[in-house]
Amino acid sequence: MTSSSSFSGGDPTLGPAGATAALILADGSVLWGHGLGAVGETGGEVVFNTGMTGYQEVMTDPSYAGQIITFTFPHIGNVGANPEDVEAITPAARGCILRAPVTDPSNWRAAQHLHAWLASHDLVGMTGADTRQLTRRIRDRGAPNGLVVHAPDGLFDLVGLRARAAALPGLEGQDLAKGVSCAQTHAWDQTRWTLGHGYGTLDTPAFHVVAVDFGAKRNILRSLASHGCRVTVVPASASLDDILSHDPDGIFLSNGPGDPAATGTYAVPVVRGLVETGKPIFGICLGHQILALALGASTYKMDIGHRGANHPVKDHTTGKVEITSQNHGFGVARDSLPPGVTETHTSLFDGTVEGLAVDGKPVFSVQYHPEASPGPQDSQYLFARFVDHMTAAKP
Ligand SMILES: NC(=O)CC[C@H](N)C(=O)O
């Protein structure tokens, strides 16, 4: 999403002394800073993430497609970038907005400076932004669309930039999952993609799981494999017959970007068919939202999404509170849950629905990220719950 120059007609404006980057919001407001990564321009929904660690996982989480990430933690980049901590080969986020200048990396695993890593992926970023002011604005008025421009010459075509920022489409109605899904069915290779993560792999996996890839994070597939599953990954567009032809013991519905309702023409009816089979099903985030739609509930765009690694959630089954990793801007409407579907988890930040289960069936899902990459490990028990369901269902 970058072009070679930020200047395309209109009056070139020199930013404040030394400014080589700017964030231009759809309402025309401008935040100045210093350019990082690729030179050019990038647009998307401007969101904030409150995690203190894991910026590389966040930037490569496919669920961030279409979004520019403001990190509220001021020191981002000081452990550099490495080839192991990515959640997908290609970053899906559109860019990043940081507070402090990025220092030289200080970590034995660092292979690259964050600046070089961003540039190598054609990602535009900016530092020196007042991220606190921006976060308060997002919190008070919702996530705006915006453009981040990196212009080393310090010249900005504010007229053109404002017009392009105002014309950016919102995430509502956008089907982004197909764009980040795998092209072909393949087997998850735990040995290949587990370097440096300390996750185990079982020589003889006990279960076969088909994972429907709406933009799956690697650590979810890694977590399934380390819980004894052989995982076959199928594209988001896989049909009911495609999925069942693999004779799975269970089906996993992955996370992913965009508006869940926009998958209504393909994924939702497939999941409805999967629920009818009675096989164990586990959904995470977009997978949870698609399951809810398949069950007859509805989803909505949240005023303020959840993005961070410290979100408290109550598990109504055990009464326990777990600290969770989250990344979503849509939610499942509580009032729309049909009879026979139980809300199993609730956010203790804003009271929104965080999990559901189908009464009498081994079918459940959570809105948050139990694989926690990055984040706390409290919710790993959900992978064991899925395995328990598959154990009970095995003939
Ligand atoms: N992490 C995810 O799967 C995100 C789900 C969905 N795209 C949302 O923003 O709500």
Distance of CA 245 to the CA centre of its chain: 29
Q: How far is the CA of 20 from the centre of ligand 1 (A)?
A: 32
Joined tokens for residue 34: 């210093």
Q: How far is the CA of 254 from the centre of ligand 1 (A)?
A: 10
CA distance 319 to 315: 5
pLDDT digits (tens, 9 = 90+) for 108-141: 999 999 999 999 999 999 999 999 999 999 999 9
DSSP assignment of 129-164, as one string?
--HHHHHHHHHHH-PPEEEEEE-TT-EEEHHHHHHH
378, pLDDT greater than 50: yes
Which one is predicted more confidently, 162 or 15? 162
3 state SS of 330: strand
Q: Sorting pLDDT into bands at 50, 70 and 90, what band is 191?
A: confident
Residue 251: partners with Cβ closer than 8 Å, 6 or more residues away: 209, 210, 211, 212, 243, 274, 279, 280, 281, 282
Q: Which CATH architecture has domain 177-393?
A: 3-Layer(aba) Sandwich (3.40)
Cα atoms in the Cβ-side hemisphere of radius 13 Å centred on 340? 10
Q: How far is the CA of 286 from the centre of ligand 1 (A)?
A: 5
Where exactly are the structural domains of the chain?
12-166, 177-393
Counting every residue written for the chain, the total comes to 395
3 state SS of 71: strand
Residues with CB under 6 A from ligand 1: 63, 255-258, 285-286, 327-330
pLDDT digits (tens, 9 = 90+) for 100-110: 999 999 999 99
Specify the ligand 1 atom closest to the Cα of 258: 7
Hey, which residues are catalytic here? 285, 369, 371
Strands 145-150 and 321-332: unpaired
Q: How far is the CA of 285 from the centre of ligand 1 (A)?
A: 6
Mean pLDDT across the chain: 93
Q: Which residues pair with 253 in a beta bridge?
A: 212, 283
- CATH entry, 12-166, from 3.50.30.20, 3.60.10.10, 3.40.50.300, 1.10.150.120: 3.50.30.20
Specify the ligand 1 atom closest to the Cα of 255: 3
Find the range with the poorest average confidence among 10-24, 49-63, 258-272, 364-378. Answer: 10-24
Q: Which of 320, 242, 250 is nearest to 279 (CA)?
A: 250
Amino acid 197: pLDDT: 56
Query: What residue numbers does the annotated binding site cover?
Result: 63, 256, 258, 286, 289, 327, 329-330
196, pLDDT greater than 80: no
Q: Sorting pLDDT into bands at 50, 70 and 90, what band is 1?
A: very low
Q: Which residue has the least CA distance to atom 8 on ligand 1?
A: 328
Separation in Å, CA 327 to CA 69, 244, 316: 11, 30, 21
Is the separation of the CB atoms in 190 and 225 below 8 Å?
yes
Amino acid 15: pLDDT: 79
What is the pTM (predicted TM-score) of this model? 0.94
Query: What residue numbers does the annotated binding site for L-glutamine cover?
Result: 63, 256, 258, 286, 289, 327, 329-330
**Ligand 1: which of 214, 219, 330, 368 to mutate, most ligand atoms within 8 Å of CB?**
330
Q: Sorting pLDDT into bands at 50, 70 and 90, what band is 195?
A: low
Q: Which residue has the tokens 């977590």?
A: 223
DSSP assignment of 5-65, as one string?
-S--SS-EEE-STT--EEEEETTS-EEEEEEEESSEEEEEEEEEE--SS-HHHHHH-GGGT
Directed axis angle between helix 267-277 and helix 286-294, to 10°? Answer: 70
6, pLDDT greater than 50: no
**Ligand 1: which of 60, 63, 301, 369 to mutate, most ligand atoms within 8 Å of CB?**
63
